[in-house]
Amino acid sequence: MLGVQMVKLEHVTKEFDDTIVVDDLNLDIKAGEFLTLLGPSGCGKTTTLRMIAGFEKPTSGKILLNGNQVDDMEPYKREVNTVFQSYSLFPHMNVYDNVAFGLKMKKVGKEEIKERVTKALKLVQLEEYGTRKPKQLSGGQQQRIAIARAIVNNPKVLLLDEPLGALDLKLRKQMQLELKHLQQTLNITFIYVTHDQEEALTMSDRIVVMNKGKIEQIGTPREIYEKPRTRFVADFIGQTNILDGNVSAVNGDMATLELADQTIEIPNSSEVALKEHAFLSVRPEKMKVSNTPIEGPINLKCTFKEKIYVGSVTKIVVRLSDGKELTINESHENIAELTNNNDVYVSWNPENAVMLIK
Amino acid sequence: MRARTKKILFSFSLLVFLFFYIPILFVIIFSFNDSKLGTVWTGFTLEWYGSLFKNSQLIGATLNSLYIAVITTIIATILGTLAALALHRYTFIGKKSVEFLFYIPVVIPDIVVAVALLAIYGLLNMSLGLNTAIPGHVAITISYVMLVVLARLSSFDSSLEEAAKDLGANEWQTFWRVTFPLIFPGIMAGALLAFTISLDEFVISFFTLGPGSNTLPVLVYSMVRLGVSPEVNALSTIIILLMVIVVVVVGLRMRKGENLNEKKL
């Protein structure tokens, strides 16, 4: 399914009034890929998208679209279309004219326009709504029209700037899957911007996690979630426990980490050096709590603080001797008898812990 | 107590409206009055409307006024709209000062503009005629157009222009297909304002018109020194009627535009 390279960003930097918003970005996006730019607000993800669309020009660097350099090309000459955050439907045109706008600009014949617009409206299940004005539609319907207006042009790349941000949670979840299926049906390259990590994990083939104008990590949803490379990624995607300590010994593939007043053996995945400060990320659902140490995996002695019922799981909060708190998710039936302020042992399989940089 | 306050407020409002509209009502009524003196009602007649169209002086002045108002409106609307677009879209050094310069003609007395223009015409050795009133009219109306269009633009969602370009429309197509239709009510309101200001502008016309080329306010002014002729009443009635029609039509159009532009969240 993933074929040739469709979009390439080479050393792209964007400055606004001496503030670096996008910093030396390199990115390859393949044809037919669903790629998500994920990060907190102000991380440069929207600016990156706007540079691909042509609304911003990079301060330096190159943008290639289907092999052609486009960074100086006007937006109306690029074979990309955008679904805007606020939909930006033309309020003075009805739904049909909104969707037909791009085709009219390209001087497509009247018959073909009618055929393609009808097909696009059918695709978003709004073929009955052609004569309505955008303000007569609900938010979800406006969203679909915005998508239809973009895809009717058969763009090489579809850019989506937080398109589901204004919808309520239930509709958003439904639209996430619809968009994903639409992308698979059309086989168009999607570049999707969001700050919602769950949305990114649900929809993407690959996720680019951005922070402060730089890429923190690129990977499949699974890689991003299970093998975060940096502290930022581990923290931003889902919940995690980050343990930090000094490396007291390195022995081949294994390293010894000093945590509070304990030591644990960990696989040296990011090749830490002796005496270095290292960070370890373990997801709450990968940890177990018991009253006695468990044979085999790593055991960390802690003090039990509290347990919180949150519906799907029970969260158990324990405290290390240096005061740091860890959260563990346990299914309700596996919870041991725990007493406040008693010593407990937190354990996990070494392969479920990830060594982080920074 | 409350009912009394309500009564007082009602009477007061009524008085204000009477104060506004009784003179206008009198003009309309006396345009049908069968008396040359125009102060006593003697009977109904349409004579003045008939003689109005035979009064070449009044018709000529009306045509002059309309001519100046139309030319002024066209120039002021185009320039004012372009100025508003520039001020809305671009940031440049001295933007605030430029904006301020556009407010000055709104507050400056017309007499100053009139005298200044007269001085320039004298300096350039230009002879006064009908067209010499137009620059003055444009100067005082352009700011109104700009302010009205600028207000309209401030509520305009510029991501719509990006959407148009994204869909393949160049700058020109984007302007005519998206920006212009959406700010059109503002442009119309500005044009209407410019038209009415120009139509009843007296001071600048009085100073900068050449001999023999009168506008309606200037002619009426010279006529009323000899007493208001019933023909002026008839003419005023026609103008009032026309303006009411124009304002209602534009108002309805603008309301339609407002409804379309309302953003649904």
Residue A234, in any domain of the structure: no
- Range of weakest confidence among A34-43, A125-134, A141-150, B99-108: B99-108
* Interface contact A76-B265, CB threshold 8 A: no
Q: State which residue of chain B sits closest to A154, comparing Cα positions.
A: B167
- Phi/psi at A17 (5° precision): 45, 55
Q: Which pLDDT score, from 0 to 100, does residue A2 have?
A: 47
Closest CA to A231 of A346, A355, A339, A327: A355
**Identity of the residue in A101, A137, A139 whose CB atom sits nearest the CB atom of B167:** A101
Percent of chain B with pLDDT over 70: 94
**Identity of the residue in B162, B170, B182 whose CB atom sits nearest the CB atom of A55:** B162
Same domain, A216 and A252: no
Last residue of a domain, one of A185, A211, A229: A229
Tell me the mean pLDDT in the region A227-253.
Answer: 86
Q: For chain A, report the end-to-end CA distance as a whole number of angstroms.
A: 35
Same domain, A102 and A246: no
Give the gap in angstroms from C-alpha B119 to the nearest C-alpha of chain A: 47
Q: What is the ipTM of this complex?
A: 0.81
Cα angle for residues A175, A181, A184 (degrees, 5° grid)? 145
Answer whether A36's CB lies under 8 Å from A207's CB: yes
Q: How many CB atoms lie under 10 A from the CB of residue A110? A: 10
* Mutation target vs A (from B160, B166, B176; most A CBs, 10 A cutoff): B166
Same domain, A246 and A221: no
Domains of chain B: 66-213 (1.10.3720.10)
3-state SS, A147-161, equals HHHHHCCCCCEEEEE
State how far the Cα of B197 lies from the Cα of A155, in Å rounded to an integer: 51
CATH value at residue A263:
2.40.50.140
- Order of strands across the sheet that contains A157-161: A80-83, A157-161, A189-194, A34-38, A206-211, A214-219
- Range of weakest confidence among A255-269, A293-307, B63-77: A255-269
* Mutation target vs B (from A51, A82, A84, A101; most B CBs, 10 A cutoff): A101
Tokens at A180, concatenated: 């994903």
Same domain, A136 and A47: yes
Q: Which pLDDT score, from 0 to 100, does residue B229 have?
A: 76
The predicted-structure confidence for B115-125, as pLDDT tens digits, reads as follows 999 999 999 98
| pLDDT score of B165 more than 70 | yes
Residue A147, in any domain of the structure: yes
State how far the Cα of A23 lies from the Cα of A13, in Å rounded to an integer: 5
State how far the Cα of A300 lies from the Cα of A53, in Å rounded to an integer: 50
Q: What is this structure's pTM?
A: 0.80
Last residue of a domain, one of A229, A259, A278: A229
Tell me the mean pLDDT in the region A165-176.
Answer: 87
CATH value at residue A80:
3.40.50.300
Give the gap in angstroms from C-alpha B1 to the nearest C-alpha of chain A: 46
Same domain, A143 and A282: no
Type of residue numbered A42: G
**Domain around A159:** 5-229
CB-side exposure of A68: number of CA atoms within 13 Å? 8
Tokens at B256, concatenated: 């339609």
Answer whether A58's CB lies under 8 Å from A71's CB: yes
Tokens at B241, concatenated: 């009627």
CB-side exposure of B112: number of CA atoms within 13 Å? 8
Answer whether A117's CB lies under 8 Å from A145's CB: no
Same domain, A271 and A203: no
Q: Which pLDDT score, from 0 to 100, does residue A247 have?
A: 83
| pLDDT score of A271 more than 70 | no
**Identity of the residue in B159, B260, B262 whose CB atom sits nearest the CB atom of A86:** B159
Q: What is the mean pLDDT of chain B?
A: 87
| pLDDT score of B260 more than 60 | no
